[in-house]
Amino acid sequence: MTSTPRELRRRHLAALRTPPLACGHRDPLVCVAPHRHSSYSLTARERLAERARLVAAGWTAEEVAQRLDLRGVAAA
């Protein structure tokens, strides 16, 4: 889905009327990544599969650990 400049401007002006989020932005779409690692509501098995997919795509272990919550997930 592509937004037109008019839609983007309306969204920006609407966001200015809301209180800032924890990250400091007012529009949640501006924040692409969570502020800390997250489970993204994935099961443990899905998180392991996502970790493998990210590593295969060239992500480093540190980059994966910053985004994906792997606590309590058994090493594969």
Mind listing the pLDDT tens digit of every residue in the chain (76 residues)?
567 888 888 888 888 888 887 777 777 766 665 566 777 788 889 989 999 999 999 999 888 888 888 887 765 4
Indicate the domain borders of the chain: 1-32, 34-76
To the question of pTM greater than 0.75 for the whole model, the response is no
What pLDDT is recorded for position 34? 58
Return the half-sphere exposure (C-beta side, CA atoms, 13 A cut-off) of residue 14: 9
Q: Which residue has the tokens 């392991």?
A: 48
Q: Which residues contact 33 (CB under 8 A, 6 or more apart)?
A: 67
